Structure formats: structure tokens, C-alpha cells
């Protein structure tokens, strides 16, 4: 007889594992389109020479470097094995049985899964008609059981972003005992000056934790490293629950080398933003539904056609991420990859006709 797993895990959905195919254009995982630059690869190789030694317990060297770069005290920074693991650690550290997490839906699908794995309740609050966080409704969803609220800014998968005024208003009204996790995985692609930099909020608000990652703008998704900036008490709590040595020597060395090349990261992010804006303009001009984005992807609210559209693109060599019944998320790739996607999308529209909600 198989050993029975924890009863409440039976109904927890598996996280969606992105498809891959040998020669396909991969626009389904919000990765950076370019490999890490040479200096970063060499730093990883150098770190591998000490691969027989455990890494630093709390990635102290990287914490020191981030503290200097971001002008934040070291006591306010925790490093994790990708920001995914930090989201999980924050739930683990602040929620117990009977507690609840609030998040938007659709948003990053790991939030509700992590909550349920921790045995914690989840309240999901639908995005508004423009695919944005409905912060008023999220406030209404907060109960005495709420311990953590996720605000994904910009939001995965819709690319929409919360602006300064509405975020401050939300934070002012939220009980101070509730931790707000401001997930800024896509921060480097924001070009709307009204979208606040979460780091500016952390200093005066002990209930705000910002999480960021090297996976997107720095092109290190396969290396697994991210960080959290928050009150020292939040950082200590994360340290209590994090898996020891989860951040490898290789990951820390890669992040440090990437930080040594800020201009490279800036230029790469700027190129993605240019391509994103071109992709959005071409899609809307071509009569496809698309949502203005602040991230490295574009959301197409295709509703009932989402799965069909994604299947069609896959048959034409381009993998995009379908959320069946809801929409399709298209990661911004290199110009030629985006052109391959645009041509598949044009063919789809020519054979299937305009989608409901199309411009």
C-alpha cells in the first residue's frame, strides 16, 4: 500500500510546468531571451572550483553588495533560491493553521499553491475589468484571519501595474498586522513613472516586504537566485524557515557578477521594453485583444479561444502560455522570435476570425 500523503494535499493543484520543445521559440516562461553575459558565466565556473564547500549560510557577500547598491541596511535583506522560494518562506514564516492569505486572481499561480501547501487558507480576489489588481476589493477580503497579502506589481500574467496613489491608499487602510508582499519580479521592465519602486516603501512601513529576482532582467532564471527587502524582523523570520544552503555558491557568484555589469542589465531590459511595446502595438493593430504591459510579456485576453490559440502557435513552432478559458501570456523574446509569434498570430486570425473582445 502506498503511504497516504497529507489529506489536504490531495486537492492542491500541481504547479503548471511549462512545455518545452527542441526547436521551438520559447515565449512561455517569462525568461530573458539572452544567455548570461560571458563575465557571469566565468564567475559561475570560478565558483564551481569551490564546489566541495558549502555556500555561506545567508549569502552574506551578496547581501553586502545588494545593501550597498540599493542603499539599504544589510539587516533588511534576505537572499533566496529564486523569489519563488522567498514567497513560500514568507507564507511559512507568517501564517499558521487558521490563517489566510489574500491575493489577486489571476496572479502568480504559486501564491495560492504555497498557501495551501502550508495548510493556510486563501482568498482570491478577481482582477478588475482591465485585468488590474482590484485593491478595494482586496481590502474588503481582509479578515481578522489575514496574515499576508500579495500584490504582484507588475502582475503575472496580465502585465498590469498598480500605481503609487492607489498602492499608498491601500497600504494606509490595511491593518498594520498584515504583511504585504510586493512582488516586483518584473520591476526592471516598468516604464510608467507612476508605478512606485517598492524599496521606497519598505523603510517606513514594517509590514511591507519587496521580493525581486535575478531570473528576468538579469537572465539568470536557470541559476535560481532572488532577494527580499523588508524590516529586519521579517528578514529574521525568513531566515528561520528557509532551507539551509538553498542558495548555491554558483548562484551567489552569478548574481554578484551580474551586479558588476549594471549597464548590461539596463540595456537588456530596455531592449525588452522596446520589443514589448512593438509586440503590443502590432497585436492591437492586427485586431488581437492585448493588454498594455509593464512586464516582459503581453497578456492576450482570448477567453474561450486561449487554448486553441496557444495550440495553433505551438503547431507553428512558437510556445506561449495558455490559461485556458482566460487568456494567453506571450513572453517578449528577441525581435526575430517575436516576429515568428506575430506571424503565427496573424495566421490564426486569418483562419479563425476576430476573437470576442478583439479591438
Query: Which chain residues interact with ligand PMP by CB under 6 A?
Result: 30, 82-84, 108, 152, 156, 183, 185, 213, 215, 221, 226
Cβ nearer to ligand PMP, comparing 212 with 305: 212
Cβ nearer to ligand PMP, comparing 94 with 108: 108
Max CA distance (Å), the chain: 59
- Asked if residues 220 and 58 have their Cβ atoms less than 8 Å apart, the reply is no
Q: Report in angstroms how near the CB of residue 190 gets to ligand PMP at its nearest.
A: 13
Cβ nearer to ligand PMP, comparing 101 with 355: 101
CA angle, 32 as apex, 132 and 308 as ends, to 5°?
60
- Residue nearest ligand PMP by beta-carbon distance: 82
Cβ nearer to ligand PMP, comparing 94 with 312: 94
The strand pairing partners of 321, in sequence order, are 329
Three-state DSSP string of 216-263 = CCCCCCCCCCEEEECCHHHHHHHHHHCCCCCCCHHHHHHHHHHHCCHH
* Residue 5 DSSP code: P
Q: Report in angstroms how near the CB of residue 217 gets to ligand PMP at its nearest.
A: 11
Q: Report in angstroms how near the CB of residue 88 gets to ligand PMP at its nearest.
A: 10
Q: Report in angstroms how near the CB of residue 352 gets to ligand PMP at its nearest.
A: 29
Q: Report in angstroms how near the CB of residue 253 gets to ligand PMP at its nearest.
A: 17
Cβ nearer to ligand PMP, comparing 185 with 318: 185
Q: Report in angstroms how near the CB of residue 346 gets to ligand PMP at its nearest.
A: 28
Output phi, psi for 319, to 5 deg.
Answer: -95, 125
Residue 196 CB coordination number (10 Å): 20
Q: Report in angstroms how near the CB of residue 350 gets to ligand PMP at its nearest.
A: 32
Cβ nearer to ligand PMP, comparing 138 with 342: 138
Cβ nearer to ligand PMP, comparing 207 with 215: 215
Look at strands 77-80 and 226-229 and give their pairing. antiparallel
Nearest 10 degrees: CA dihedral of 238, 240, 241, 242?
Answer: 70
102 three-state secondary structure: strand
Query: How many CA atoms lie less than 13 Å away from 107 in the CB half-sphere?
Result: 34
Amino acid at each position: 500500500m502506498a503511504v497516504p500523503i497529507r489529506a489536504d494535499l490531495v486537492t492542491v493543484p500541481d504547479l503548471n510546468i511549462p512545455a518545452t520543445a527542441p526547436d521551438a521559440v520559447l515565449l512561455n516562461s517569462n525568461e530573458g531571451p539572452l544567455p548570461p553575459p560571458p563575465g557571469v558565466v566565468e564567475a559561475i565556473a570560478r565558483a564551481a572550483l569551490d564546489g566541495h564547500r558549502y555556500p555561506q549560510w545567508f549569502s552574506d557577500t551578496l547581501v553586502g553588495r545588494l545593501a550597498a547598491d540599493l542603499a539599504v541596511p544589510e539587516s533588511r535583506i534576505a537572499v533566496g533560491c529564486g523569489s519563488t522560494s522567498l514567497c513560500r518562506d514568507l507564507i511559512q514564516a507568517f501564517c499558521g493553521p487558521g490563517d489566510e492569505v489574500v491575493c489577486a486572481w489571476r496572479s502568480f499561480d504559486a501564491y495560492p499553491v504555497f498557501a495551501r501547501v502550508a495548510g493556510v487558507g486563501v482568498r482570491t480576489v478577481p482582477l478588475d475589468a482591465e485585468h488590474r489588481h482590484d485593491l478595494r476589493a482586496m481590502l474588503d477580503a481582509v479578515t481578522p484571519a489575514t496574515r499576508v497579502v500579495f500584490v504582484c506589481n507588475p502582475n503575472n500574467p496580465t502585465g498590469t501595474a498598480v500605481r503609487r496613489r492607489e498602492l499608498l491608499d491601500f497600504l494606509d487602510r490595511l491593518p498594520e498586522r498584515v504583511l504585504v508582499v510586493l512582488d516586483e519580479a518584473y520591476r526592471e521592465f516598468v516604464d510608467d513613472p507612476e508605478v512606485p519602486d517598492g524599496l521606497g516603501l519598505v523603510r517606513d512601513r514594517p509590514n511591507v516586504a519587496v521580493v525581486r529576482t535575478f531570473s528576468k532582467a538579469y537572465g539568470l532564471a536557470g541559476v535560481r537566485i532572488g532577494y527580499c527587502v523588508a524590516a529586519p524582523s521579517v528578514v529574521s523570520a525568513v531566515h528561520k524557515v528557509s532551507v539551509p544552503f538553498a542558495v548555491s555558491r554558483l548562484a551567489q557568484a552569478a548574481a554578484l557578477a551580474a551586479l558588476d555589469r549594471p549597464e548590461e542589465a539596463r540595456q537588456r531590459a530596455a531592449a525588452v521594453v522596446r520589443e514589448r511595446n512593438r509586440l503590443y502595438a502590432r497585436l492591437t493593430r492586427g485586431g488581437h485583444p492585448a493588454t498594455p504591459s509593464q512586464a516582459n510579456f503581453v497578456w492576450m485576453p482570448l477567453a474561450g479561444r486561449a487554448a486553441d490559440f496557444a495550440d495553433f502557435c505551438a503547431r507553428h513552432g512558437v510556445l506561449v502560455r495558455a490559461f485556458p478559458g482566460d487568456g494567453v501570456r506571450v513572453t517578449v523574446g528577441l525581435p526575430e522570435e517575436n516576429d515568428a509569434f506575430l506571424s503565427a498570430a496573424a495566421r490564426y486570425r486569418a483562419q479563425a476570425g476576430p476573437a470576442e473582445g478583439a479591438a
